[in-house]
Structure 1
Amino acid sequence: MNSSAQFNPFPAVLESERVRLEPLDIHHADDLAVAADEAEIWAYMPLAAGVVRDDCRGWVEATHRDAADGSQVPFAIVDRLSGRAVGSTRYLNIRRAHRSLEIGYTWLGSAARRTPINTHCKWLLLSHAFDTLGAIRVEFKTDSRNLRSQRALERIGATREGLHRQHMIMPDGHLRDSVYYSIIDKEWTAIGKTLRSMIDA
């Protein structure tokens, strides 16, 4: 398969029974500013608490600038029950020549956590990456302290690949170690069934 010609992630609307992922836009800013108003969201994120809450329009514009070179595709997470944007996620580190990308920068407001929303998001992003775009590898990275995120990735069948020590300097000065996980194309059918069964349960 010709890699670069056929692997080209782009902004798209992805929809399940519960969630609609929309290309992140300025009209999502008011909802996202409300959803972001919680310190717990940002404990393990490489973004200072308050940035999204206090200047969400500026954050959306900065995200668009970061994505302008095609290395990222950011989404707003819309809860179809309320019609409101409740968080954000994105494809990033897109490597077209290698048909590979990362799913990350995912955050949800408190009302959306401990609901099926995150599972729906993962299923939408992964199925689009593998089934539509033709990815051969999708990766995730998480703060080594974020055990909840690691358990969630392991529960769906992602493979833990290792630890990148002192990978990031966090906004509070903490030297973050990042744990890397991946899913490759030959694993996707089984993992997709696992995710679908979690959604249908």
Structure 2
Amino acid sequence: MTDLSSYAGARLPDDAPLLGRLVELRRLDPVAHADDLFAAQSAGDPRLWSYLPYGPFADVSALSAHLRAQAVAEDPWFYAVVVDGAAAGVVSFLRGDAANGVIEIGHIWFGAALQRTPAATETVYLLARHAFDVLGVRRLEWKCDAANVRSRAAAERFGFTYEGTFRQHLIVKGRNRDTAWFSIVDGEWSRVRAGFEAWLDPANFDASGAQRASLAALRA
């Protein structure tokens, strides 16, 4: 068993932006981001809100009210995903447990233009890198509705390990949610980080933008 007697715990997120080559994660600001996020919501993914406890939003005013509540929260801690100066989605850290060095990525929604892009992958990489390398966590979690095939596939693609399903865990929008749990732990992070960085390297893409090697292959 690893001796953790000297482990001082993890930090919790703060206002510092997380900056990548393709995206910037900036503290959610309803004034600056509402119009962009409403446009992202309206860009053609009918399943965007299927598994989240809120949304869709009928107009900018309704979304702005929702964002105002999220922007003042400390747990979850919300970021806008900014691409080329416009907010294209939202992510968060939540359930931060500083003493035990655990935090979760959640409340993820990407507008259709951001989905399945290198920018989306870089978003998750920036969160994971910040969690392990700056906050100092021992465990990074990803949880989703067990019926959410897209989220489960994304978690596994990003290097999270499936740990099991909590049956009848929540009631969301009037229906049962079984919750699938995934994690990356600190002993795995160097391999997972190397895979992300190799995949995100511009050399991994051909002239048409197609990947040369998959993220799973590069992580292996």
Q: Same fold (TM over 0.5)?
A: yes
- The corresponding residue for 1:181 is 182
Q: What is the percent sequence identity of the aligned residues?
A: 36
Residues 78, 85 of structure 1: 8 Å contact kept: yes
Q: Decide whether the 8 Å contact of 1:167 with 1:178 is kept in 2.
A: yes
* Equivalent AA in structure 2 for residue 31 of structure 1: D
Does structure 1 retain, via aligned residues, the 8 Å contact 2:89–2:110? yes
User: What is the match of residue 63 of structure 1?
Assistant: 70
CA distance in structure 2 between the partners assigned to 1:147 and 1:197 by the alignment: 26
**One-letter identity of the residue aligned with 1:75:** Y
Higher RCO structure, 1 or 2 (CA under 8 Å, sep 6+): 1
- The count of residues paired between Structure 1 and Structure 2 equals 194
Task: Report what 2:34 is aligned to.
Answer: 29
Q: Which residue of 2 aligns with 1:10?
A: 14
Alignment of 1:125-144 (within 5 A): 125-144=127-146
Amino acid corresponding to residue 129 of structure 1 in structure 2: A
Q: Give secondary structure in 2 for the equivalent of 1:41.
A: coil
1:157 aligned partner, one-letter code: G
Q: Quick one: distance in 1 between partners of 2:89 and 2:82? A: 7
Aligned AA (1:198): W
**Aligned partner (choices 38, 45, 48) of residue 41 of structure 1:** 48
C-alpha separation in 1, matches of 2:200 and 2:13: 25
Rounded to whole Å, the distance in 2 between the matches of 1:121 and 1:52 is: 26
Q: Judge conservation of contact 1:23–1:75 (CA < 8 Å) in 2.
A: yes
Counterpart of 2:213 in structure 1 is: none
In the alignment, the residues of structure 2 paired with residue 52 and residue 104 of structure 1 have an alpha-carbon distance, to the nearest angstrom, of 24
> SS at the partner of 1:197?
helix
Partner of 1:50: 57
Larger-Rg structure: 2
Q: Does 1:119 align with 2:121?
A: yes
Q: Any idea what SS the aligned residue of 1:88 has?
A: strand
- Indicate the SS of the match to 1:194: helix
Structure 1 unmatched runs, 5+: none
Compare the two structures and name the one with the higher helix fraction.
Answer: 1
Q: CA RMSD in A?
A: 1.7
TM-score computed with the length of structure 2 as normaliser: 0.82
TM-score by length of 1: 0.89
Contact 1:31 1:86 in 2 (8 A): yes
TM-superposed deviation, 1:51: 6.4
Residue 128 of structure 1: how far off its partner (Å):
0.6
1:50 CA drift (Å): 2.1
Q: CA deviation at 1:53?
A: 5.3
Residue 39 of structure 1 aligns to a residue whose secondary structure is coil
Q: CA deviation at 1:2?
A: 4.8
| Cα 1:155/1:114, change in 2 over 3 Å | closer
Q: Distance in 2 between matches of 1:137 and 1:120?
A: 19
**C-alpha deviation, 1:3, in angstroms:** 3.0
